[in-house]
Amino acid sequence: MWKTGLLFIATAVAEIVGCFLPYLWLRKNGPIWLLAPAAASLALFVWLLTLHPAASGRVYAAYGGVYVTTALVWLRVVDGVKLSTMDWAGAAIALFGMAIIVSGWSRG
């Protein structure tokens, strides 16, 4: 489960970086060259998704819980926004849902 969790986190970071860099270009007047590493990050995201050991629909469903949590941590660390108790509660619920889905992968 730890290996899968770390793979999910790496996948989420690749997706968030791939979306954040164009955001910087479009909304924060960042340089256009940010689109090149954004495209590379999104390609990495897609490749990482292929490494997950389950059917794609299950991977996407479980990944959602990790993505929610990673996005909130990004919000705190990168954007400097203080997270609320409800943010943390939502992240915990999302991760619990992910854990339920992943625990059923071997039962298939």
* Contact between 25 and 32 (Cβ < 8 Å): yes
Residue 82 above 90 pLDDT? Answer: yes
Residue 108 has pLDDT above 80, yes or no: no
pLDDT of residue 107: 63
Whether 62 and 100 have beta carbons less than 8 Å apart is answered as no
Q: What integer is the mean pLDDT of 88-104? A: 90
What's the predicted TM-score (pTM) here? 0.84
Unique residue bearing structure tokens 């954004």: 38
pLDDT of residue 63: 85
Q: Percent of the chain at pLDDT above 90?
A: 65
Q: How many angstroms separate the CA atoms of 108 and 99, rounded?
A: 15
Domain ranges of the chain: 2-107
Q: Which residues contact 7 (CB under 8 A, 6 or more apart)?
A: 48, 51, 52
